[in-house]
Structure 1
Amino acid sequence: MSYTIGRLAKLTGMPVKTIRFYSDSGVLPERERTASGYRIYGDEDRARLELIRTLREIGVDLATIRSLGDRRLRNVLDLHLKAVETQLKSLQRTRAVLRATLGRDGDPAEDDLRRLHALSRVGTAEMELLLDEFVDEVGGGIEARHEWLADMRDCMLPELPEEPTTVQLDAWLELAGLLADEDYRESLRRQSKDFWEGDIDIEAWQEANTQVMREGLAAAQAGVEPGSPESAVVLERILAVMGQSREEMLRAFDEHDPRAARLWELVSIIQETPWPAEQTIAYGWIEAALRKLDG
């Protein structure tokens, strides 16, 4: 069945002006005109107008609707859902900051305004991009190091809860700043260069690290005092596993950038997981034991 633009307007309840705009902008593709130049529409156009109205009501932009001729509706709606969810998370972050700010007496402090401004610029998408840049830059052209960092990437991307606390929001912003810190990136590249450029068996190294962590954690949890004769025995087992001397292992602790531990602490704060983590406890005990015996 064919309809004039006036008839189509009555059937759909949509103003003639709106239908003409959709036609002129390509959202409603033109199909036919009379000899006098008047547009003719059909049932397909009527159905498409209903779809356009629905999509516009849920916020889909005209450019996306225009592209529907080349894309499945399901794919368009899936992309729109992801965009809406991202917007909701951003609004939830802003709401949390506003609630915390208004919950205190007096006018907002400078920190409150800074937090609001920063959060408008650092959402999940921005954090994803920061992490990609971090992995690529710290990887520094060494394939094995890049692959290892890529495997760690998801662990470094915590998800903010729907109702984040001010502490979690501050941790989120600090994490973004740390990942973007050029000095920190350079420090990681420099410290790990010799290790990753060497002839290393990654599986054997990971297995040794796991064993060392278990030894250190067991000693810490058992209350073995760093510097005691018992701790010396544990350290000898650890050094044997790592194939290092006390001096070599202590030098590694001296050269370790403390910002790496802070990164994982920030992730823990955002995720609300226990801190310090078991690995941090284990290596903290090992370092303390080494320094006691060295002193």
Structure 2
Amino acid sequence: MGYTIGRLAKLTGLTVKTIRFYSDAGVLPEPERTAAGYRLYGDQDRVRLELIRTLREIGVDLATIRSLGDRELRDVLDLHLRAVETQIGSLQRTRAVLKATLDRDGDPAEEDLRRLHTLGRLGAAELGALRDVFIDEVGGDVPARHEWLTQMRECMLPDLPEEPTAAQLDAWLELVDLLASEDFRDSLRRQSEEYWEERDLATWREANVQLMREALDAVRAGVEPGSPEAGVILQRILSAIGQSREEMLRGFDEHDPRAARLWELVSIIKGTPWPAEPTIAYGWIEAALRAQ
């Protein structure tokens, strides 16, 4: 006993043609057949068709549905959710640029078209690849540096807010260009090679916590960089990070200003205060080194 394809069509609300298509496409398992060759479906096929219809309505492709026999439904839905969220993010970026462009008086300018062009060629996959290439090229074969950059991956290119300002749009595009700059990547890799080769990430984190605490406490207490008290604080910082005054000062002298600009752009996009605490801390340390 079973359902003919016509009966199954009435029960599910799907057309005979659609059910036959799903069967031929391998989305619906091949049913039993009568001696005369007619297809006979069971209750499990009716349940499967309801699931197929629901998945198709939310945009899941046939290849993914076909693989359900080997995968948990939860995994399939989770993958689809991530795909939908990615599409939403891309559409929101495009909407933001279009809205900002149309909100201005007059015809769109060349800069407006550049924004649209950039967003059009940068989907989620391209943005992910941009981060990955940046991490691989700057991190190189130095494990601690590569691991640190990997943990900073999501921070270095945040999503635009739903209603970005013109300044946030421009900051986002400038940040994309900066991360894509081969010259910037080469500069960061060269400048940090010696520093990271001598450290592991756990040791660096511990030292950086002390560095931040010492420097920010000094700033809040109003300690002048050239004062004797600053000299004592500076010595504690140098001991914590294992560097001499000369080594640390050379690091400031050779520092690529675009690195600071990167985090300033992130701050603009996220709408957080600038300068951020790390910038304030390192600014005080540099001032103290030069003043001592």
Q: Do they superpose with TM above 0.5? A: yes
Q: Which stretch shows the higher mean deviation, 223-232 or 17-26?
A: 223-232
Query: Does the CA contact (< 8 Å) of 1:93 and 1:163 recur in 2?
Result: no
Q: Which stretch shows the higher mean deviation, 170-179 or 13-22?
A: 170-179
Q: Distance in 2 between matches of 1:35 and 1:68?
A: 30
Q: 1:89 maps to which residue?
A: 89
Using structure 1 for the length normalisation, give the TM-score: 0.85
Q: 2:46 maps to which residue?
A: 46
Q: From the superposition, tell whether residues 252 and 7 of structure 1 become closer, same or farther in structure 2 (CA, over 3 Å).
A: same
Query: Does the CA contact (< 8 Å) of 2:148 and 2:201 recur in 1?
Result: no
Deviation at 1:247, TM superposition (A): 4.0
Structure 2 residue runs of 5 or longer lacking an equivalent are: none
Identity score, percent: 76
Deviation at 1:290, TM superposition (A): 4.0
The reply to whether residue 103 of structure 1 matches residue 103 of structure 2 is: yes
Equivalent residues in 2 for 1:179-198 (5 A)? Answer: 179-198=179-198
Q: 1:257 maps to which residue?
A: 256
- Residue 278 of structure 2: SS of its match in structure 1? helix
- Residue 155 of structure 1: SS of its match in structure 2? coil
Query: Does the CA contact (< 8 Å) of 1:128 and 1:157 recur in 2?
Result: no
- Residue 150 of structure 1: SS of its match in structure 2? helix
Query: Does the CA contact (< 8 Å) of 2:144 and 2:200 recur in 1?
Result: no
Using structure 2 for the length normalisation, give the TM-score: 0.86
Q: Which stretch shows the higher mean deviation, 225-234 or 182-191?
A: 225-234
Query: Does the CA contact (< 8 Å) of 1:12 and 1:46 recur in 2?
Result: yes
Deviation at 1:3, TM superposition (A): 2.1
Query: Does the CA contact (< 8 Å) of 2:9 and 2:19 recur in 1?
Result: yes
Q: Distance in 1 between matches of 2:202 and 2:32?
A: 67
Q: 1:274 maps to which residue?
A: 273
Q: From the superposition, tell whether residues 202 and 7 of structure 1 become closer, same or farther in structure 2 (CA, over 3 Å).
A: closer
Deviation at 1:277, TM superposition (A): 0.7
Amino acid at match of 1:41: Y
Q: 1:117 maps to which residue?
A: 117
Q: Distance in 1 between matches of 2:242 and 2:143?
A: 25
Deviation at 1:275, TM superposition (A): 0.9
Amino acid at match of 2:253: D
Query: Does the CA contact (< 8 Å) of 1:96 and 1:166 recur in 2?
Result: no
Amino acid at match of 2:116: L
Deviation at 1:34, TM superposition (A): 2.7
Amino acid at match of 1:286: I
Deviation at 1:4, TM superposition (A): 2.1
Q: From the superposition, tell whether residues 161 and 10 of structure 1 become closer, same or farther in structure 2 (CA, over 3 Å).
A: same
Q: Which stretch shows the higher mean deviation, 231-240 or 170-179?
A: 231-240
- Residue 120 of structure 1: SS of its match in structure 2? helix
Amino acid at match of 2:131: L
Q: Distance in 1 between matches of 2:152 and 2:245?
A: 28
The RMSD of aligned alpha carbons is 2.7
Amino acid at match of 2:257: P
Q: Distance in 1 between matches of 2:192 and 2:21?
A: 60
Query: Does the CA contact (< 8 Å) of 1:102 and 1:108 recur in 2?
Result: yes
The reply to whether residue 139 of structure 1 matches residue 139 of structure 2 is: yes
Deviation at 1:162, TM superposition (A): 3.2
Structure 1 residue runs of 5 or longer lacking an equivalent are: none
Deviation at 1:214, TM superposition (A): 3.7
Amino acid at match of 2:22: Y
Amino acid at match of 1:257: D
How many residue pairs get aligned? The number is 292
Q: Distance in 2 between matches of 1:193 and 1:105?
A: 50
Amino acid at match of 1:80: H
Q: From the superposition, tell whether residues 23 and 286 of structure 1 become closer, same or farther in structure 2 (CA, over 3 Å).
A: same
Q: From the superposition, tell whether residues 236 and 40 of structure 1 become closer, same or farther in structure 2 (CA, over 3 Å).
A: closer
Q: Which stretch shows the higher mean deviation, 118-127 or 185-194?
A: 118-127
Q: Distance in 1 between matches of 2:52 and 2:242?
A: 68
Amino acid at match of 1:120: G
Q: 2:75 maps to which residue?
A: 75
Q: For 1:70-93, what per-residue CA distance to the aligned partner results, in whole angstroms no more than 9, with x for missing partners?
A: 222222122112211221222222
Q: Distance in 1 between matches of 2:92 and 2:181?
A: 27
